C-alpha cells in the first residue's frame, strides 16, 4: 500500500499502473481546482475582481489547466523517469486593487496551498472515522498524499511559487527586488531551476510530505 512506506507523490508516480492513473488524475484535477479557486476567491474577497472577471472563480479544473505545464510537462518528465512537476495556469490578480498591500498578496498566495492542507486534514479525518479498505482506502490515501504534496511544494519560497508571496511580505527591499527579477523570467525558468535542484531539494520535499502524512494518519 502507498502509505505503508509513506511514499511521496512524485516517487510513487514513477511506478504507476493504469488503475492508479484512473484515480490519480481525477484527484489531481479536483485538488488543483480547489487550490486555484481559493486563490481567486481570496483575491475577490480582498477587493480585486480580476480573477472572477476572467472566469477563474470556479472549482472547474478545466478553467485552470495549462496544456503545457499541467499536461505535457509532467507526462514528459514521467516518461523520462524524472519526478514530475505539475503547474496550473496562474490565477491573475492586481496587487494595486488588493487590500492590505503585500500582506493581502501573501494571503492570496498561501490560500491555495492552505486549501490543499485542509483537504488532506479532512480526508484524514474521514479515513480515521471510516477505517476504509479496498478502493476507498486507496482513493483516500492518494488524495491525502497528493494534497500534502501540493501544500509542501507550493510553499517553497521561490518565485513565482505561492510561498514566495509570504516571503515578499516579510523580506527586506533588496530581496524583494531580486525575487521580482526572478519572477519576471516566468514559470518556465522556475520549473527548470527546480528540476535542476531536485536532487538537493527533493529529500526535503519528501521529508515534509512524509512527515505530514505520518501526522495525519
pLDDT, position 120:
96
Residue 160 has pLDDT above 70, yes or no: yes
Q: How far apart are CA 143 and CA 152, in angstroms?
A: 14
Q: Is 114's pLDDT higher than 90?
A: yes
* Per-residue model confidence (pLDDT) at position 74: 67
Taking residues 79-84, report their average pLDDT. Answer: 59
SS3 state of residue 162 = coil
3-state helix, strand, coil in the chain (%, to 5): 75, 0, 25
pLDDT band at 83 (very low <50, low <70, confident <90, very high): low
- Enclosing H/E stretch for 102: helix 101-130
pLDDT at 3: 37
Q: How confident is the model at residue 14 (pLDDT cuts 50, 70, 90)?
A: very low
pLDDT band at 189 (very low <50, low <70, confident <90, very high): confident
Q: How far apart are CA 107 and CA 123, in angstroms?
A: 24
Provide the whole-model pTM: 0.84
The three cell numbers of residue 38 are: 481559493
Whole-number average pLDDT of the chain: 81
Instruction: Report the candidate in 30, 60, 55 with the shortest Cα–Cα distance to residue 44.
Output: 55
- Domain boundaries of the chain, sorted by first residue: 2-216
Q: What is the pLDDT of residues 44-80, one digit of tens each?
A: 999 999 998 999 999 998 899 887 777 776 666 666 6
Which position has the higher pLDDT, 143 or 190? 143
Please tell me which residue, 112 or 191, carries the higher pLDDT value. 112
Amino acid at each position: 500500500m502507498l502509505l505503508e512506506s509513506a511514499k511521496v507523490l512524485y516517487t510513487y508516480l514513477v511506478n504507476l499502473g493504469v488503475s492508479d492513473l484512473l484515480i490519480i488524475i481525477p484527484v489531481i484535477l479536483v485538488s488543483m481546482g480547489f487550490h486555484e479557486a481559493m486563490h481567486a476567491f481570496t483575491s475577490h474577497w480582498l477587493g480585486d475582481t480580476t480573477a472572477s472577471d476572467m472566469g477563474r472563480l470556479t472549482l472547474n479544473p478545466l478553467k485552470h489547466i495549462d496544456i503545457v505545464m499541467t499536461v505535457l510537462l509532467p507526462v514528459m518528465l514521467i516518461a523520462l523517469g524524472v519526478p514530475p512537476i505539475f503547474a496550473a495556469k496562474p490565477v491573475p490578480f492586481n496587487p494595486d486593487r488588493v487590500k492590505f498591500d503585500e500582506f493581502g498578496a501573501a494571503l492570496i498566495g498561501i490560500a491555495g496551498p492552505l486549501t490543499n492542507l485542509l483537504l488532506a486534514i479532512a480526508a484524514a479525518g474521514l479515513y480515521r472515522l471510516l477505517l476504509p479498505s479496498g478502493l476507498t482506502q486507496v482513493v483516500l490515501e492518494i488524495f491525502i498524499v497528493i494534497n500534502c504534496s501540493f501544500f509542501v511544494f507550493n510553499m517553497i519560497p521561490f518565485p513565482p511559487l505561492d510561498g514566495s508571496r509570504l516571503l515578499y511580505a516579510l523580506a527586506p527591499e533588496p530581496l524583494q527586488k531580486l525575487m521580482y527579477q526572478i519572477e519576471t523570467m516566468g514559470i518556465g525558468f522556475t520549473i527548470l531551476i527546480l528540476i535542476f535542484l531536485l536532487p538537493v531539494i527533493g529529500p526535503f520535499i519528501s521529508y515534509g510530505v512524509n512527515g505530514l502524512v505520518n501526522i495525519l494518519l
